[in-house]
Amino acid sequence: MTKGQQFAKDMRKNLGIGTRTRRFRLGLDLHAEILECIQHATFDAGWYSEQRENLFREGFGAWQSYEKHIAGYRVDSKVITYINSLSPYQFCTLLGRMVDAGITNVGEGERFFNQLRAELYAQTA
């Protein structure tokens, strides 16, 4: 199991996310909750166990890239729409994919989202 797959599995377990979990649960946006877990692991020492904290910290580059490019509307609108339409389960998988791709900064995240854009346009062509 790769580090990204382990990241996605632990994130789902941490928030109780299954394959049929909807994005909004009890008025909370689970995409925001997933990103908040990464923030807590990175900035709040002791929030999680040491193993989980180290695993969630791997997603910090993905979190930065999401905030800059998706939340900041800097990438193609098709990519933003695609990511916003993902279920929480699929969103964890996307972040795990970013961890496996070695995203550690915003520039690498931009290249990842451009590649995702090319994949999405290739599917519709």
| pLDDT in the model for residue 45 | 87
Per-chain mean pLDDT for the chain:
95
Average pLDDT over residues 39-67: 93
Residue 50 belongs to domain spanning: 3-124
pTM as predicted: 0.93
| pLDDT in the model for residue 8 | 97
pLDDT of residue 111 exceeding 90, the answer is yes
pLDDT of residue 39 exceeding 90, the answer is yes
**What's the rounded Cα separation, in Å, for the pair 105 and 98?**
11
| pLDDT in the model for residue 125 | 72
Average pLDDT over residues 108-123: 96
Local confidence band at 93 (pLDDT 50, 70, 90 cut-offs): very high
CB 86 within 8 A of CB 98: no
Amino acid at 73: Y
Please state the length of the chain: 125
Task: Name the domain count of the chain.
Answer: 1
DSSP letters spanning 40-55: HHHHSTTSS-HHHHHH
pLDDT of residue 124 exceeding 90, the answer is no
| pLDDT in the model for residue 88 | 97
